[in-house]
Chain A
Amino acid sequence: MKFAALGPAVLPLLAAWVLSSRAGTSRFRRAIAAAADGLALISAALLWNAGLARSGALDSDPFSLFLASSVLVALAFAAVTPQQDVESLCRLHLGASLSIAAVTTTDLVWSVPAILLFGMIVRHGRERLVGFLVPSLAALAGLALVAASGEDELGLILLTAGLSAVWLFVSRDVLRSFPSGLVTRMAASFALLVAVSSVLMRIAAWFPTSAPLGLIHALALGALALGALGGLGATRITTFLTALALARAGLVLFAFLGGVHGRGPLLLELAASGVSLLLVAAAAENVDTLDEVSTLASVPRRLVLTLGAFSACSFPPFPGFVAAFPLSSAVLDGGHAISLLIACALLFLLSLGSMRLVARAWDSGTSRTVDSTVGAAPVVLAVAALWILGVAPGRAVEAAMAAALSIF
Chain B
Amino acid sequence: MTPALGMFLLFVLITLGITWWAARRSQGAAAFFTASRRITGWQNGIAVSGDYMSAASFLGIAGLIAFYGYDGFMFSVGWLVAYLTVLLVVAEPLRNAGKYTMADVLAYRLSPRPVRAMAALSTITVSTFYMIAQMVGAGALVALLLGSSHVSYQTAVIGVGVLMIIYVVFGGMLATTWVQIIKAILLMLGTILLSLLVLAHFDWSLTNFFNAATHVTYHEKGELVTKNFLDPGLRFTPANHGALDLISLGMALVFGTAGLPHILVRFYTVPDAKTARVSVVWAMILIGSFYIMTTFLGFGAATIVGRDHIAGHGGNNMSAPLLAQALAGDIFFAFIAAIAFATILAVVAGLTISASTSFAHDFWTAVVHHGTERRPGEEVQVARITAFFVGAIAIGIAILLGKDANVAFLVALAFAVAASANLPVIVLSLFWKRFNTSGAVCGLASGLLASLVLIALSPSVMKVDPPTVLGAARHLIQRPPIFPLENPGIVSIPLGFLGAILGTLLRWEPAAEARFDELVVRANTGLGAEKAQ
The finding on whether chains A and B are genuine partners in a shared complex, rather than unrelated, reads no
Query: CB within 8 Å of A: which residues of B?
Result: none
Which residues on A are within 8 Å of B, measured CB to CB?
none
